[in-house]
Amino acid sequence: MGRRAPHRRLRTASWLAALLLVSGCVATGTTTPAATPLPAGTLGERLDAALAHDNEAAFVDCFSARHDASADGRQWFAVLEHGTSASVTQVDDHTLTVRSTEHGDTRAGTVTFTLDLDATGRIASVASSPHRPIWALGPTDITDATRGTLYTAGLDEAARRQWADRLDRAVAAVAAYDPPGAEDGADGLVVQLPADAGAFEAMTGEPSSSASAVSVCDTGTPRIVVNPVVLTQSAEWLDSTMVHEAVHVATGSPCRPSGQLAWAVEGLAESVAASGDPTAAARNRALVVAYLADHPVPDALPADLSDLTGYALAQVAVDQVRAHAGHDWRSLIDRASGDAGTLTRTELRRITGWYTAELRRLAASA
């Protein structure tokens, strides 16, 4: 779920764990791995035991002395210890899964790493499938917000604080609107802001020209990745972008595999963003009016959401459902956003009629 920017188409600890700490993966005053090779198949147990015992030295000793930004043991430990829970499981000799919950997550997230091991069996570098988290790409700062967690690379403290505050305001804006489909407990955000466009692509699988931000669910819980190329945009744009993506997180739309109508998913996110931001509201109205000046009023709900105009038209559709459907509006948008097959033809005709009538009104008033 990505939002395009203006002027560019950016679309458990146990006795075994304690024994492992004593007998194997312990550093002695240095981060250089011991020369003795690690027994095969125990790397995950050692890492998990180190986390359970809050033993950074033991955790770091499971990483190679060979430097690679993807395998910085201290970085991994800092991130995983910061969360509310974390565990490591070894799938096979070259695969680990890391399961963690961060403040702001709706549920635990799991990342699978394919390992490159050195001659002693320690982690030299990693890849993740399908995408890497920011902390497996290089140095990462962790900033606590009241309603979530911010991961950044390359931002100074003042900028990090601004983004943490933006995160909190977005959560508050979504709560005030109370969008249909919002999950119970979805009252926080985990936001990642990488250092450059290449890192954004590695994290999302999306080209850096596609979106200002993307809500992803690769780990099993929705998280937001902000495209660093939009940092020069206005504070108002960045604020509304964060609200837009926060709606996706609250409703869990990135984690729904099918049954979604794009106009409902994106239109709802735009409606929430515009409801608290007069600048965004005016911009979207202007986009719709400009579209109607060059096109006839459509006879169907918006299907092409490849640019900002498509998003603005989708907002009109959602706003009209909210204005005309009474108490049914929440059910209509919730089903359109995640169980579209339950919408009847009559319901779709009603929604289409409200949408096209509003476009005719706008066209006549321009």
User: How far is the C-alpha of 350 from the C-alpha of 120, rounded, in Å?
Assistant: 67
pLDDT of res. 4: 54
The beta-carbon contacts of 323-331 under 8 Å, at least 24 apart in sequence, are 323/354, 324/350, 324/354, 325/350, 325/354, 329/180, 330/180, 331/180
Q: For 269-312, what is each residue's pLDDT tens digit? A: 999 999 989 999 999 999 999 999 999 999 999 998 989 999 99
Q: For 67-88, what is each residue's pLDDT tens digit? A: 788 999 999 999 999 999 999 9
The arithmetic mean of pLDDT across residues 320-331, rounded, is 97
pLDDT of res. 67: 78
The arithmetic mean of pLDDT across residues 182-190, rounded, is 82
User: How far is the C-alpha of 96 from the C-alpha of 126, rounded, in Å?
Assistant: 10
pLDDT of res. 184: 62
Residue 307 burial (CB count, 10 A): 12
Is the pLDDT confidence value at 13 over 90? no
Q: Are 312 and 270 in contact (CB under 8 A)?
A: yes
User: How far is the C-alpha of 40 from the C-alpha of 132, rounded, in Å?
Assistant: 25
Q: What is the DSSP letter of 130?
A: S
Q: Which residue has the higher pLDDT, 19 or 220?
A: 220
Is the pLDDT confidence value at 29 over 70? no
User: How far is the C-alpha of 72 from the C-alpha of 65, rounded, in Å?
Assistant: 10
Average pLDDT of the chain to the nearest whole number: 89
Beta-sheet strands, E only, within 194-333:
213-216, 223-226
* Whole-structure pTM value: 0.88
pLDDT of res. 256: 86
Is the pLDDT confidence value at 174 over 50? yes
User: How far is the C-alpha of 135 from the C-alpha of 239, rounded, in Å?
Assistant: 24
Is the pLDDT confidence value at 24 over 50? no
Weakest-pLDDT range from 24-38, 117-131, 149-163? 24-38
